[in-house]
Structure 1
């Protein structure tokens, strides 16, 4: 109700009424002065009262009418400007308003029209950039997929394929000497068994890369435990997992940490020759501390083993740094390998 009485139309009517009241008092003062000073016969109290009453009635009606009429045009123009602002706020940047007068509101209308044109251009630019980024993302994903396939193909050729070829050669040689030299054949069968186990471990490690990269709705803790349980059923390595509750990581951070863990476990299965693996995730201040350690053979930077794992280590470091984390790795021959990450948490008041 109060807002209605404060709109532009009623403001115009009130301004006309203020002028009418001032003129009424001024006219009344003039008539009273003439009556007091000159006392003309035609001017008496009744005439003054009649005149003022008639003037007040007609003047009130005319003031309201004049205020209503004079505010109609400007109210319509303001309504058009208000509608234009609403359309712009809703994203309809093609809306325009006609500027048919030469006053301040015309300047405001022109400014809003110009703003709409600029916003439309910015919108078109953003859409264009978004389309380009989408195309780049598709190209990057395709390139990453091809690169990953090529890496898996190289690993299969360098490891599993060569081991299977060696198994075939040793099996053929063992078959030839089985009757003549049973002791040597038995020794070669033992070597064949070990090579088969190694090939099986290599294959499981490579298949680990083909697991879904994403957690598929699971929390990080649930995803890690599911992955570890799957590996326990397929290999003889002992896993010790300690993950605190309420890690409070963003979805992107959880995905990256999970992918780093996959890569680390794959390297351990393929290269470390470890019997135990420790996975620990704990909250330290405003960060999540992630530790992945094994008791394997370890490596030195100049070793061939380190060269094989260098691509995976580089990928893990890049993933960690992408989410604002710190990545470090420690390894010595005969003392295993230990990977540490510190990843920022979400703030409690935000998360």
Structure 2
């Protein structure tokens, strides 16, 4: 629509120019006719001219002036039309992103100054584009550095947890199994009790490894929705662990992809803590949307629980979950007591425009 309006304005410029010349010719012919009448008025007998001749001369003059006006109007309007079309073509070139192009400035009149101003504007836009590209490159470099730093930090954390938990449990299993072999013939009852302890420690080590492997899953949901990603995670855990999952998960369409990734990571961390510390057999997970206000998530287990004021509450996993929840503007609440399991409630507000 804008381009067609510009085209009509450029095409009508020549008509406007010729019309102006024609107006001048008409005014000139009328003034010529008035001049002849004044001459006849003051010199009625001195000139061989009358009203008829003055009319004829006026018509002839008008025709000559009209032809001259059409010729010069057409020539001059063509020159002006070409200059305006050059400016319009250059603006269209800028619209296609060719900001390095420049329009030639031949005259220092108003159109010449307009062309210079457009050239200066193109230079400013080109500099801004280069600045944006530089910022994008710097942002990409920072993102890569942040990703590498996060990867290194995660590896170090997993290495610490492997050393602090699984490696120590495996070392204990090695010592206890060697002792059980030596005790088996002489003290069979003690050896049997030792084997029971070995089985318990092996189960704990297995839970630790499952939790650590859970952390190695992709952090993002890729092409899955939050509901689909959580269901896949729980189905996989049900096949590999003795835990029974009771779930009521509704499809949430009111959250951005970044918010969904954070929630998926929070749920993943919560289940990891249950696998490692709770000794639970049943895990309940509810997720649904409360109108257009917030998303509610509830996670609970029937495990051994812990005291809220205990140092365990400040563990890395709970601290990470709380931080992730606060980063997306949510609220994180945890209730637990020894022998009564753990209950986590999460409220994530829905921003205006997300729904």
What TM-score do the two structures reach when normalised by structure 1?
0.89
Q: RMSD of the TM alignment (CA)?
A: 2.6
Distance 1:329 1:167 in 2: 34
| Superposed displacement of residue 23, structure 1 | 2.4
| Superposed displacement of residue 32, structure 1 | 4.6
Question: Of 100, 103, 110, which aligns to 2:106?
Answer: 100
Please name the residue that 1:288 is paired with: 295
| Superposed displacement of residue 34, structure 1 | 4.9
Question: Of 159, 165, 173, which aligns to 2:179?
Answer: 173
Residues 319 and 50 (structure 1 numbering): CA distance in 2 closer, same or farther, change over 3 Å? same
Residues 108 and 329 (structure 1 numbering): CA distance in 2 closer, same or farther, change over 3 Å? farther
List 4+ stretches of structure 1 deviating above 6 A.
Answer: none
Q: Could you say what secondary structure the match of 2:340 adopts?
A: coil
Distance 1:315 1:45 in 2: 106
Q: Which stretches in structure 1 are left out of the alignment for 5+ residues?
A: none
Please name the residue that 1:277 is paired with: 283
Alpha-carbon displacement from aligned partner over 1:175-194 (angstroms, at most 9, x marks no partner): 12222222222222211111
Distance 2:333 2:21 in 1: 80
Further displaced range: 286-295 or 1-10: 1-10
Alpha-carbon displacement from aligned partner over 1:288-322 (angstroms, at most 9, x marks no partner): 22222223333346535335xx2222332333333
Distance 2:267 2:252 in 1: 19
Please name the residue that 1:205 is paired with: 211
Q: Could you say what secondary structure the match of 1:7 adopts?
A: helix
Task: Kindly report which structure 2 residues correspond to 1:74-93, keeping only aligned pairs within 5 A, or say none.
Answer: 74-93=80-99
Further displaced range: 329-338 or 253-262: 329-338
- 1:133 equivalent to 2:139? Answer yes
Q: Could you say what secondary structure the match of 2:149 adopts?
A: helix
- 1:28 equivalent to 2:33? Answer yes
Further displaced range: 73-82 or 185-194: 73-82
Distance 2:79 2:346 in 1: 69
Residues 342 and 58 (structure 1 numbering): CA distance in 2 closer, same or farther, change over 3 Å? farther
| Superposed displacement of residue 164, structure 1 | 1.1
Distance 1:238 1:265 in 2: 12
Distance 1:178 1:304 in 2: 40
How many residue pairs get aligned? The number is: 348
Question: Of 323, 340, 344, which aligns to 1:339?
Answer: 344
| Superposed displacement of residue 275, structure 1 | 2.5
| Superposed displacement of residue 341, structure 1 | 2.6
| Superposed displacement of residue 58, structure 1 | 2.2
| Superposed displacement of residue 38, structure 1 | 5.5
Alpha-carbon displacement from aligned partner over 1:165-222 (angstroms, at most 9, x marks no partner): 1111111111122222222222222111111111111111110011122223121111
